[in-house]
Structure 1
Amino acid sequence: MRSTQTDIERVAADARRAVEDAIWAPSVHNTQPWRFGVAGTRITLRADPDRRLGVADPRGREMLISCGAALYTLRVALRSLGHDPVVHLLPDPDRPQLLADVDLRPGEPADEAVEREHAQVRRRHSHRGGFLAAPESGVLTGLRHAAEREGARLVQAVDVHVKGALAALTDAAEHVQRRTPAYATEIARWAPAPGTSRKDGVQQDAYPRRTPLTAPHFPARDFARGRGWGVEAAEDDTALTGLVVLLVSKGDTPADWVKSGQALQRVLLRAAAHDLSAAYHTQALQVPDLREFIRAQFCGDAYPQLLLRLGVANGEKLTSVRRPVEEVLTEEPS
């Protein structure tokens, strides 16, 4: 059956709506390193290398993890609109920035599970501080299953010595990075001063002015750079570490990075449905020697892609911004 003009217009409108959701995926320092294209019933996802962290992420690993999170969000949004997204990952070796072609096929109306997952897309927020409570027992099983569905695994740091070691490695990496001029310049680029009109980066309403100490303590990024910016935390803010997990993958190729990003977002959306938030600690994984040490000591034959803490955040609503969809979406010839 030939598509009518109405069908074409509906697909185009649905594609735009899905991209509007996809851009709410998490990305390292809120760099939003993605670009989307729409051509007929196909949506393309490309990495935007101009938004890669050249100092902290020279290989583009975290850039592709971020794009993978956007890809999973796109899939969820399309399913909520009654489409069956068929993903072709890294379809052209000669165009490494082309991360995915997503073909829209007719699907079933969204069921309750899809609707519930889609409802978390804009509820999910990153957290930068301690937690009021750790996840309830049993929740981790579902989060592990979510990661495995996307080809990754969650490895929990149960032993107190393992958690202490990961915290110490994070602290050491943060200490080194803060004293590296090129890194400090990069942080300054992506953590703008108050009053900015930018719609990217980690802005002052996205992090607390003072980060409560946890035991063991996982240091947060110094986005304020000692200037006193940030949201004033509640006086009774309880500082629990929460659940400490590593997101790991079997391989360490660009395809594995994109898959890890999809796994991350699937985990985060499931966590959000349980009123859980995630705090990211990527410092040690940005230092090659420390990442290799973590892999060898704590990950077996897998590769660490992200270090997370999960828990129930306080009632503070830290905010985030996104670029308008017009800046990341291009209409392409069919």
Structure 2
Amino acid sequence: MESTTFGAALLETCVSAAVAAPSIHNTQPWRFGLDPATVTFEVRADPARSMPHVDPTGRALLLSVGACVFNLRVALAHFGWSPVTRLLPDPDDPGLLATVRPADPTARRREEGSVDLYEAVWRRHSSRLPFAGRSLPAAVRDELAAVARAEGTSLRFCDGAEATRVLRLTAEAERRNRLDADRAAESRRRVHRVLEPPPGTGLPRTALGPQDARERIPLRDFTAQRHPERLVARPFEASPVLALLATEHDRRVDWLRTGQALERVWLVATVYGVRGSVMHQAVEWADLRDALGGPPEGTAHPQLLMRLGYGPEGPATPRRTPGRDPRPAARAGTPPPSRPSPPSRPGAPS
């Protein structure tokens, strides 16, 4: 494929969809490059967005990058291309986390259903608000588990005593986070006041939502203590729907796969009108992460806990200008300045 067959407007639209992905702590830690000879997107991490105290191994960072890779796949499929994705494609270049190449549209693959998820990319927001007290239908649960498997992960719903157990582990992790001065300070830097100049990334305080008045759902508040004047208390659902993403192995490639699975699950949930948020605290502590798996998944590696349910849509958070690849400008993509509204379909690639 010649680079002239892939228009600049389509390139920008695809990158704009990619950066609409969720990221842990809303770090948005991605950089994009473009190989003009093959029109291959190259995705790297932005080391300036790392969090060495909260995420010393870079697991959460790679998970976030994986989510943006999946959005890029969705956008390319939506516009008629067959995305060919390779994770960690070059052993001699460990910083290259993924490549995504749009293959000939005549070879387009539809088995992953990505085309149907494009509009959900723009509607998916984290919701830290109370959900209705009703469970997800069995058919929805089964489909979410199936798409997670398609990305090389497992999705297990935690009900009853299991939900109580994982919430206790999450609460313990949140307690430790508040007591760890370095982690607490690092997390607080990810939150800014609405009246401050937007930092280009991080969470506006208005996105934090309320505290759970019953203190059963330990949503991260990014502070060293509770602040009722900042986070008002409201009753949350008595029986939250919790789902645990896990992998058979625990390598860098598994972290990237988990990110893709997270976003695919979240987009399918969005299509069904289901809201979601991430409860990542317990996997940030080695002993709590091990305990999070529990029997019979003792050999699996827990990667992420999701809270799902029916309720109000969360606010959109600002998206920073995606970082360029540090190599020569001829190989760098041209990202849009911010997250746009859902764009109208551009013309066919010229």
Q: TM-score over 0.5 for the alignment?
A: yes
Distance 1:243 1:205 in 2: 24
Deviations, residues 47-104 of structure 1 (Å, cap 9, x unaligned): 1122122111100001101000000000000111111111121012232221012122
1:143 offset after TM fit, Å?
A: 0.2
Are 2:24 and 1:36 equivalent residues in the alignment? no
Q: Which residue of 2 aligns with 1:151?
A: 152
The answer as to 2:200 corresponding to 1:199 is yes
Residue number among 271, 276, 283 corresponding to 1:273 in the alignment? 271
2:335 corresponds in structure 1 to: none
1:322 aligns with 2:319: yes
Residue 180 of structure 1 corresponds to: 180
CA 1:213–1:94 in 2, change beyond 3 Å: closer, same or farther? farther
Q: How does 1:1-334 map to 2 (within 5 A)?
A: 3=2, 8=4, 10-40=6-36, 41-107=39-105, 114-132=114-132, 133-158=134-159, 160-196=160-196, 197-213=198-214, 217-223=216-222, 226=227, 228-229=229-230, 239-297=237-295, 299-314=297-312, 317-325=314-322, 327-328=323-324, 331-333=329-331
Q: Which portions of structure 1, spanning 4 or more consecutive aligned residues, are displaced by more than 6 angstroms?
A: none
Amino acid at match of 1:134: S
Native 8 Å contact 1:19 1:74 kept in 2: yes
Counterpart-to-counterpart distance in 1, 2:213 and 2:35: 48
CA–CA distance in 2 between the matches of 1:201 and 1:42?
A: 29
SS at match of 1:121: helix
Distance in 2, Cα, partners of 1:47 & 1:54? 14
Identity %: 33
Q: Distance in 1 between matches of 2:8 and 2:103?
A: 13
Distance 1:95 1:114, change over 3 A: closer
The one-letter amino acid of 2:302's match is: P
Counterpart contact for 1:85–1:102, Cα < 8 Å = yes
8 Å contact from structure 1 (residues 213, 239) kept in 2 = no
Kindly state the Cα deviation for residue 251 of structure 1 after the two structures are TM-superposed: 0.6
| Aligned-partner residue type, residue 138 of structure 1 | A
Q: Aligned equivalents of 1:85 and 1:283: distance in 2? A: 33
- State the shift of 1:110 in Å: 9.7
CA contact (8 A) 1:134 1:240 kept: no
TM-score in terms of structure 1 length: 0.88
Assess, with a 3 A threshold, how the Cα gap between structure 1 residues 168 and 147 changes in structure 2: closer, same or farther: same
Distance in 2 separating the partners of 1:114 and 1:294: 30
Q: Is the 8 A contact 2:33 2:331 kept in 1?
A: no
CA distance in 1, matches of 2:63, 2:34: 22
AA at the equivalent of 2:157: Q
Is this contact kept in 2: 1:131–1:240, CA < 8 A?
A: no
TM-score, normalised via structure 2 length = 0.84
Match of 2:341 in 1: none
- Measured in 2, the distance between the counterparts of 1:163 and 1:284 equals 13
Contact in 2 for aligned 1:174/1:219 (Cα 8 Å) = yes
Contact persistence 1:75–1:85 (CA under 8 A):
yes
Give me the whole-angstrom Cα distance separating, in 1, the residues matched to 2:114 and 2:168: 39
Secondary structure in 1 matching 2:138:
coil
Shift of 1:210: 3.3
Instruction: Select between 239-248 and 119-128 the one with higher mean Cα deviation.
Output: 239-248
The CA distance in 2 between the partners of 1:210 and 1:290, in whole Å, is 23
Task: Identify if the C-alpha distance between structure 1 residues 164 and 227 changes in structure 2 by more than 3 Å, giving closer, same or farther.
Answer: closer
Give ranges in structure 2 of 5+ residues lacking alignment. Answer: 333-350
Contact 1:130-1:241 at 8 Å conserved across structures: no
- Give the root-mean-square deviation of aligned CA atoms: 2.5
CA separation of 1:70 and 1:55: change in aligned 2, threshold 3 A = same
* Gap change, CA 1:298 and 1:191, over 3 Å in 2: farther
Query: Matched residue of 2:212: which SS?
Result: coil
